[in-house]
Chains A and B, each alone.
Chain A
């Protein structure tokens, strides 16, 4: 892609638009950072602050849409080391339909949330920073740009804590701690893995990736890729920090949700999507899928022991990107694109509607988006689900496992849809409706095109025809493997079963009866992942080891070395004393034994003045004799 542009070609309007996109993101970021320091200056426009900050950036995706969804691209540039260096790190950006859907979708959602909740200025700034990070990831052409985006999101986590400083007390520190640790640790893994892959001469330029299956199988590469994948899995799985969700919180759910969890989880999925050419149909993809399935199961198990509705919704929503990953490596480009974007849009819709007191209309809207996430017929996610479950004959174990875990996850989700959250904020404000409309429009896009295309009815291979009317899909159209009716049936079977289970199992109980019924289970769920982040036992063990080492070090430096030096000096001193006492015998007591005879002679010579004068005279005589005889 980058080779197609050379010389001054990048100055074409598409590239200029891309530059404007970067500038607009920078502007939003700068504005948000400034407002963190002077929040009072924006108090009067609290409600519209998010839109005010991101509007310049939103104009670019709109211009991109008006121009016909043609890819915006710029050549990669070297960032660290020369471009020609084998292990040089490169920066590159482009703007494609994924960037479009994610930037626009989340902007509308967050804008509506800020408008509805009148969030404090610092929290809005934090949301803007997180959104900028997400946009950067969504338009990244190399891993290193995505890493910067993830870094920006990590920085955004600081601000809710700052906003909390306006009150005297806080209950959110635990959440901050847990999620920040998870983010940092994930980033370390990604950094280590990415650096390792780059050191093999693979530039992690998303537009030029080859399959990892064909890559070298050296130990370095294996370790790098394993670390890389582990980093993304860690970033994707909020269950790793789920123990923090058991703590009470005073903060607003929506901000927590996006800033602490979703933005980075979605970013991780975007990077994995970009890396599909490298991992699809390889053992790496399979490993990723299995890991995601196992962690999703743990997320479900952790989630059902949470007693707070809000926290359950938090964990469930934040686990959706993990759910995406369970099948992502097995989808073709077209389905993967629709799967990712469709889920993101459905997620946004749920994000806006799920945490509310239940009214029939809200239940219906939430159900609508809930169905969309799991690939209900008509929504753009459907083709991906159908395609994946069509593989049941070739991948029976994986498909079966995913089916089972999805069933549990969807059942939990549907129960949350039915029971709802705790927020009493009005959800039926105009911006909310606009945001929901945008989600629906984009999510049902392929359906509205007059074809079922992305809607996912099997054996319909007229996908590209439909896409002609929706060029943003064309951007990724490469192939369509279709799917079988079996896959379609299994995908939708999950939904039917999940709805039944979610509705009727323990229907009269609270949200989830498990915590009350099985307190030991709750404790186990709390600790299930807490172990990874050094709870009391491991922390104490490590601290004790450190103390022991310090004691050992102190013993060496404070006791043994000084003792040895003292012993050495003492030995030397004793040797000196001995030597001195031996020499004393020779030299002391009237000049000692050795010098007694000469000393007597000297004493004799000094015996009286006459002899002394005689000596002087003799000396002078000698001197004059020498002088006279010259």
Chain B
């Protein structure tokens, strides 16, 4: 089972290499798809195995990497990162398929998507802070290239902005990680070995003695918030996504808040449990700020990609509130929000791309009456929207039920705020649906969906429904790990 973890992370990277070795288009994209799917299969097998042995030790893959500095190549999958890992590994092959027929630079975009997949999965599965930093810093590079090459007019500025912010974020995280590394004797980057050892440690900066948990955690949190992005650091992300095709936007989104918030939860509750629990109010407040801002900015979106961005701010806010509850149910809800929202984003993103392919625009106002030509696309999009906001029978319902239960344990006032956000956002989404899909048929641009396009939508729709009706295997895995992390964390604290 351990061997599946490197396969999960590196199969896509091998696919990218194969493209370089044999650049013939058919081979290249087939290899890309096979290697991406191999990663998905590994994720699914890990999920099945962990689910079958709930409560047992989760698989880890640890080898020494840079021996003299005690850097390990440590990857692992447990209930905390399994859901995002699973859904990202599943969605990436769809991204490859979505870009199957790109007019130019097809091979390049497939290779870069594969590198992205490796970087994102690597960051999610890293159990060594140095390795985490390695993958974390790697995520923006393929995105930068993709945005610079395949973006719209003004893409260079957006890509540059993204890479600059990412560099600052990486530097901040790196500084925090180095402080941790030097504070512990013997030095180590392994999360498992650092657990419970950081409380009460101090470090000297410019001759001043400061608490390590405060300074290191602040630096790491700042870096992660920049990269997620969490409001008010989200500007670069919006500019990026509005300049690139939704496939690339989706890759950026998958490498954004789902990964970052998972990493944040792990680092926060495993390494700095006391600091984390002492500042729950901060995370909840940040979550509410994201909800409110995301909700308001959503209402003025005129572009399908913009809707994705604002919606991601709202859902990141929900997830952050779940983390801020500090309650097992809220944390499971937070993880489940990441899971279900990624599925919804994938459907919404693919639908946007399908529409753009026909109408040559992402502008919401330029669509009308699409349902009359593409009823299956409309149904899938509506289901994705419904899941994003917790309509029963979809994966989102479970996520929101758990999240709201966690919120009640924190404070019912948060629930009321969250509820009104949900209402406003869902009303707006239905409004968008009406604008795009309903109304009279206005033109003949909307050709019927092809087999490849159906392939992008149907499996994801099926997954949303399947998880909505049979959530237990997913939820139980997460809960076991969350409870364990919280109990170990509180014991350590």
Contact = CB atoms under 8 A, between A and B. Distances in A.
Are A and B bound to each other?
yes
Contacts of B297: 546, 549-550, 553
B334 interface: no
Interface stretch (A17-25, A157-165, A308-316): A157-165
A147 B398 CA distance: 11
Nearest to B336: A80
B426 A181 contact: yes
Nearest to A190: B392
B235 A557 contact: yes
A472 B364 CA distance: 55
A120 interface: no
B300 A543 contact: yes
Q: How large is the interface on B (under 10, 10 to 19, 20 to 34, 35 or more residues)?
A: 35 or more
A191 B235 CA distance: 33
A227 B422 CA distance: 14
B360 to A, nearest CB: 23
Interface in B376-432: 376, 378-379, 382-383, 386, 389-394, 397-398, 400-406, 408-409, 412-413, 415-416, 418-419, 422-424, 426-427, 430-431
A577 interface: no
B434 interface: yes
A144 B402 CA distance: 12
B156 interface: no
A461 to B, nearest CB: 42
Contacts of A554: 235
A557 B240 CA distance: 13
Interface stretch (B32-40, B95-103, B471-479): B471-479
B274 to A, nearest CB: 25
A596 B415 CA distance: 77
A194 B401 contact: yes
Given A227-B419, A545-B296, A147 B397 contact: yes
Contacts of B404: 191-192, 195-196, 199
A626 B60 CA distance: 64
Interface in A145-184: 147-148, 150-152, 154-155, 158, 161-162, 165, 168-170, 173, 176-177, 180-181, 184
B195 interface: no
A162 B371 contact: yes
B440 interface: yes
Contact of B440 (A155, A170, A177): A170
A251 interface: no
Residue among B412, B440, B475, B479 with the highest chain A CB neighbour number at 10 A: B412
Contact of B389 (A87, A168, A188, A542): A188
Contact of B300 (A534, A550, A558): A550
Interface in A506-531: none
A542 B296 contact: yes
A290 interface: no
A169 B391 contact: no
A553 B375 CA distance: 37
Contacts of B372: 165, 168, 170
A556 B392 CA distance: 40
A185 interface: yes
B392 A151 contact: yes
B471 A168 contact: no
A165 B471 contact: no
Contact of A220 (B235, B389, B392, B412): B412
Contacts of A195: 400-405, 408
A170 B405 contact: no
A224 interface: yes
A405 B469 CA distance: 41
15 contacts: A81-B329, A151-B392, A151-B393, A154-B393, A161-B371, A162-B371, A168-B372, A184-B391, A185-B426, A188-B389, A188-B426, A195-B404, A199-B406, A227-B415, A550-B297
Given A168-B372, A542-B299, 15 more contacts: A81-B329, A165-B371, A165-B375, A169-B441, A170-B439, A170-B440, A177-B438, A191-B392, A195-B402, A198-B401, A223-B415, A534-B427, A545-B296, A547-B300, A553-B232
Closest 6 pairs between A and B when the two form their complex, measured CB to CB: A151-B392, A151-B393, A557-B235, A223-B412, A195-B404, A546-B300
